[in-house]
Amino acid sequence: MTISKTILGILLMFCISVTSYSTARPDRVFKIYQFPINQIPRIDGQFSDWEKIPDTYTIGLEELNDTRFGNGTNLDPSDYDIDVKVAWVKGLNRLYFYIDAYDDYWDFDHHALGQDIFELVVDGDLSGGTFINQHNGNKNLLSKNELHYKGHGSHAQNYHIFTPVQNKDWAMVWGNTPWIKEFPHYNSASAFDFEHGESGRLQMEFYITPFDHAAFDGFSKSSVSQLKEDDFIGLAWCILDFDGKGKCEAFMNIAHDTKMIYDASYLCAFRLMPLEPEWQKPIAANWSFLEVDRSSRWIQFKDESQGKIEKWHWDFGDNTNSTEQHPKHIYKQGGTWTVTLTVEGPAGKSIRSKVWDVVTQ
């Protein structure tokens, strides 16, 4: 019996074991808030979208540690203070950020890296390991220049985000993929009323697109991280606080290890949270399907309903049905089919039909 490539691929998906991983601060898992799809945050500098997020998602100065200059955990909020919220939207492979920061001396007139920076590192698939050319394990075989193009920033991405930005791009991407900081892979907006050298409050919102593989030669050769509910990603940030004359007086970071800037194994674990209860429907039917083998008209259906489900009823549109949760169905003839799933549970009944999505030949 010959197994088609499609079927073999599906079988392999179920057989591959989950890769183990390590993160910084293994006793701490941070949360990423899920916005409902009808409340996608606007990147407009107004920030009201973030007010609905519970305080339990706020990550403040108390989570940071100065790991370069010896201040440890004795960080002074009158010198620098920050709250960060991270969010996502199911179905959009983007990470949204809100920063609310105070500095007693905002330093942002330098044309290069000598200014206040929010340095963000993301590893969308928890692949871990080094991701910059200086620490590449193949540097004895290839030059740093070659390694820059072959992998610097490919499996994890480092953004030096300028706070605030003036007369330059919003961020420096440390690696071979400057295109990832361009729209539509990112967008940002900020609000502040201070001048260089003054104290004050900065608010900023932005999103980035994480990549399992970001290629030097562009988006078409890259692989976007697929963000899924309850999955974990690697994420960390640090603050470089400059207070004039090119002097960086602090390296405050959430990973509690300076290696976070170049080794994704030293990032923190962040969980992509489900919707908060207030946004969840008590019961809602939904489903998807996969064409396993076109020649035999084999369709695999998957229940994706929300709520406590006790009964399933599938109408495949060809006068056949099933009460399985995830049924396999083989159509006897070609056609365009309206498939309907009805689910029942303690909260009642819900129906979801899809018209002519399923097509057989």
74 contact partners, CB below 8 Å, separation of at least 6: none
195 — alpha (psi -120 to 50), left (phi > 0) or beta?
beta
Burial class (CB in 10 A: 0-12, 13-18, 19+), 196: middle
CB 335 within 8 A of CB 319: no
Q: Compute the distance between CA of residue 215 and CA of residue 223 in angstroms, rounded to an integer.
A: 8
Cα Rg of the chain, angstroms: 24
Evaluate the CA torsion angle 287, 288, 292, 296 in order and state its sign: positive
Give me the pLDDT at residue 5, please: 45
CB 304 within 8 A of CB 314: no
Map tokens 């002519």 to a residue. Answer: 356
Topology alike, domains 21-276 and 281-360: yes
pTM of the model: 0.86
Give me the pLDDT at residue 11, please: 38
pLDDT in tens, the chain (361 residues): 344 444 444 434 433 333 445 688 999 999 999 999 999 999 999 999 999 999 999 999 999 999 877 667 779 999 999 999 999 999 999 999 999 999 999 999 999 999 999 999 999 999 999 999 988 888 889 888 898 888 899 999 999 999 999 999 999 999 999 999 999 999 999 999 999 999 999 999 999 999 999 999 999 999 999 999 999 999 999 999 999 878 898 899 999 999 999 999 999 999 999 999 999 999 999 999 999 999 999 999 999 998 999 999 999 999 999 999 999 999 999 999 999 999 999 999 999 999 999 999 9
| DSSP reduced 3-state for 180 | helix
Max Cα–Cα distance, the chain, nearest Å: 77
Give me the pLDDT at residue 68, please: 79
**80: nearest Cα among 118, 48, 45:** 118
Tokens, residue 350? 């819900």
CA distances 90 to 53, 112, 192, 209, Å, are 16, 36, 31, 13
| DSSP reduced 3-state for 49 | helix
Question: Is domain 281-360 annotated with CATH 3.90.1300.10?
Answer: no
CB 313 within 8 A of CB 331: no
CB 154 within 8 A of CB 177: yes
| DSSP reduced 3-state for 37 | helix
CA distances 179 to 22, 42, 190, 208, 218, Å, are 29, 22, 21, 12, 7
Torsion of CA 35, 38, 43, 46, to 10 degrees: -90
Write the secondary structure of 193-206 as one string of H (helix), E (strand) and C (coil): CCCCCCCEEEEEEE
Pairing state between β 248-253 and 268-272 = unpaired
Phi, psi dihedral angles at 330 (to 5 degrees): -115, 115
CB 110 within 8 A of CB 123: no
Tokens, residue 4? 């088609």
Structural domain spans, the chain: 21-276, 281-360
Tokens, residue 328? 């396999």
Write the secondary structure of 226-283 as one string of H (helix), E (strand) and C (coil): CCCCCCEEEEEEEEEEECCCCCEEEEEECCCCHHHHCEHHHCEEEEECCCCHHHCCCE
Please report, as a single letter, which amino acid is at residue 43: I
Q: Compute the distance between CA of residue 84 and CA of residue 8 in angstroms, rounded to an integer.
A: 44
CATH fold of 21-276 reads Immunoglobulin-like (2.60.40)
